[in-house]
Structure 1
Amino acid sequence: MKEKTAQDRAAGAVMGAFIGDALGVGPHWYYDLEEMRRDHGPWISGYTEPKPGRYHEGLKAGDLSQAGIILRMLVESLIGCGRYDEEDFCRRLDEELLPLLDGTPVHGPGGYTSQSIRELWRQRVQQKLPWERTGGYADTTEAIERTLALAVRYAFDPAQLAISVTNNTVLTQIDNVVVSMTVAYCAVLGLLVQGQPLDDKLSGKLMELVKSGALPFHAVTAADLKPPRAGDLDPPRAGKFASPDALLTPSYMAAAAADPEIRIEPAWKVSIVYGMPCAVYHMLPAAYYLAARFRDDFESAVLHAVNGGGQNQARAILVGALVGAQVGLAGIPERFVEGLTEGVALRRLATQLAAPVGVPE
């Protein structure tokens, strides 16, 4: 089997996220699983059209939601500028997205506008606040759903990854725990794009980046979480997140997925174990678990993410990126690209964004 390149893994991560987003359009936010099965059958195996009265009514099977549209905007900005240019991305939001919104949930491109983007509209359009003051307190994964593009672009530069993801996140979400968990997910994705496995050793590698100063998390323990020694001082870095715990979750989930005495069957019930709601602390453990369990099987990973109900769209986006990075673009079944609206164009964007990844600048 041909060895996957960093560019293939990077493109797979972005394409996996687009696919995960579109898979969630039809069955998004069913908290009654029996109702979801009645509307979409016993097993959702591909793109579906939303039923009348559901969140993305009016979209077609394979369309992107607003989350996917915003991700595409950031990808296009990164490609156009060759780097993360916050002014360019904010200009795109000001010109291409915010004028199409009115601050209500069921309005705007993608059929539904999330809480953090509604708050952004109110502060940016109604109150005319500068971008430095537009962040709100939504405790969701909405920032992750776009900043994963930054994780891909800066996969081999974890310090720049952390800075750019933090700066982009606070445009819409300023809760420090949410920001830290967003940066942690992106740091995980960056290592997967590098070719590191999602296993029980990954968190140790992330902690080494903390020790080196590349990731701005607070840590008082020594290697392998051993207690600090007398006289040890906190490293003198500004902007530290309160704890490194968000970096430890992935390896615990990977260990659970690999432990034969810990079984979640069928795997979609991970949504019941960790919770169906939208909050980041429900979403990330489930996403890490599915991405570790189906690390070589993109189809199973994203379909179990979708069939778990609740905030299954976000779950599928996060899982799609993590597993896409592990299988690479070549490992994503072609049917998911063929059924995706503008799938060829989105694949081209994913490939363009991936081109400089891992190449010395």
Structure 2
Amino acid sequence: MTDNQQAAVFGAFVADALSLGVHWVYNTGVIDKKFGRVERYYDPLTSYHKGKKAGDFTHYGDQMLVLLESVSETGRFEALHFSRTWRHFFEDYAGYFDKATKATLEKMNAGGDLTECGSDSDDLAGASRLAALLPAYPDDPEQFADAARDQTAITHANPLVIASADFFARTLAVVLSGKPPVAALEETLAARFADSPIARQITMGLESRERDTRETIAEFGQMCSVDAGLPGAVHLIARYPDDFKTAMVENVMAGGDSSARGSLAGMVLGAAHGMAAIPEAWISEMAAGQRIKALLTP
């Protein structure tokens, strides 16, 4: 993998780890009071991530690592292998089980086809794992986009979430081809998503690039849904196309579901600027940092 490809993967993971401290804290005044400006990893403030420590992942990042390990083991995305690995991971998981996870596991445990048990959740988190697929398809945008949609559907069979994964996978491929982040967003929207049900959310994000991030994400909604998270992720890329660190910090400071929108923005901005743009401490102090490096090394 090239430096920029590795940075796309690490960008997604560090965004999740940075989010852990204030994930699902919706009152931004509490973030300010408890942490000031979040520029390093913290133990989680809420009870949702009980037992987690600074440098760990949220349950989203944990699932992204499961996907990366599955891809590393098989050399490609195999829906059945990922489904089995994902299901096994949750057998003794001590972290948070969100509604999508519970619904998917319920269908799996009832005997459903493991590759067709995805929930109907519209949470953007189903798409936010897709950076983990890049090692299998670093130079094949079409297969990468196919795999992004398929991995999403394993847990989130909602068309909006699947379309979001497709959009960000294709945007990432354009960035890795050498286009600047905003140009890549606009090109992908015009080429394939102008008539998509997520076109409005993408456009909202692009049109907000000159606005304050905290106010903008509050207006879009800090929630987990595609309606809120997708324009928020696009905003972060469009607002900070040349500043990975600031984008990640401002994402966390905006509160709510900072992990899902941050992982997608971190992936794209990491791809644009390479490993040098990611603070070294965010990698060295990430609990799974060495594991991820090993998985990305042939």
So what's the TM-score if we normalise by structure 1?
Answer: 0.75
Task: Give the structure 2 partner of residue 264 of structure 1.
Answer: 211
The answer to whether 1:42 aligns with 2:36 is yes
TM-score (norm 2): 0.90
Counterparts of 1:113 and 1:7, CA distance in 2: 35
Distance in 1 between residues matched to 2:147 and 2:261, nearest whole Å: 23
Q: Does 1:297 align with 2:243?
A: yes
* 1:339-358 Cα shifts (integer Å, max 9, x gaps): 21132322333x33xx6xxx
Alignment pair present for 1:141 and 2:88: no
Correspondence for 2:223? 277
Structure 1 unaligned blocks of 5 or more? 1-5, 101-107, 211-216, 220-242, 258-262, 356-361
**Corresponding residue of 1:338:** 284
1:307 to 253, 259, 281: 253
Counterpart of 1:83 in structure 2 is 76
1:55 partner SS: helix
Letter of the 2:106 counterpart: R
Aligned pairs (5 A) from 1:1-361: 7-38=2-33, 40-51=34-45, 54-95=47-88, 97-100=89-92, 108-109=93-94, 111-125=95-109, 127-150=110-133, 153-154=136-137, 156-200=139-183, 202-205=185-188, 207-208=190-191, 210=192, 243-244=195-196, 246=198, 250=202, 253-254=205-206, 256-257=208-209, 263-265=210-212, 267-349=213-295, 351-352=296-297
Q: CA deviation at 1:128?
A: 2.2
Maintained 8 Å contact 1:200/1:254 = no
Amino acid at match of 1:124: M
Q: 1:129 to 1:180 in 2, by over 3 A?
A: same
Alpha-carbon distance change, 201 to 32 in structure 1, aligned in 2, over 3 angstroms: closer
Deviations 1:280-312 (A, max 9, x none): 121111111111222222210100000101111
- What are the ranges of 5 or more consecutive residues in structure 2 without an aligned counterpart? none
CA change 1:203–1:294 in 2 (3 A) is closer
RMSD of aligned Cα (Å) = 2.4
Find the structure with the greater CA-based Rg. Answer: 1
Letter in 2 for 1:116: A
- Classify the secondary structure of the residue corresponding to 2:281: helix
Q: Is the 8 A contact 1:198 1:251 kept in 2?
A: no
* Alignment deviations for residues 109-162 of structure 1 (CA, whole Å, 9 cap, x no partner): 4x212221111111112x122224311111111221222323564354232223
The structure carrying a bigger helix percent of its residues is: 2
Q: d(CA) in 2 for partners of 1:130 and 1:314?
A: 27
Q: CA deviation at 1:201?
A: 6.1
Alpha-carbon contact 1:337-1:343 (below 8 Å) kept: yes
CA distance in 1, matches of 2:135, 2:240: 20
CA distance in 1, matches of 2:182, 2:197: 16
Q: 1:201 to 1:69 in 2, by over 3 A?
A: closer
Please report how far the alpha carbon of residue 268 of structure 1 lies from its aligned counterpart in structure 2 after TM superposition. Answer: 3.2
Identity value in percent: 27
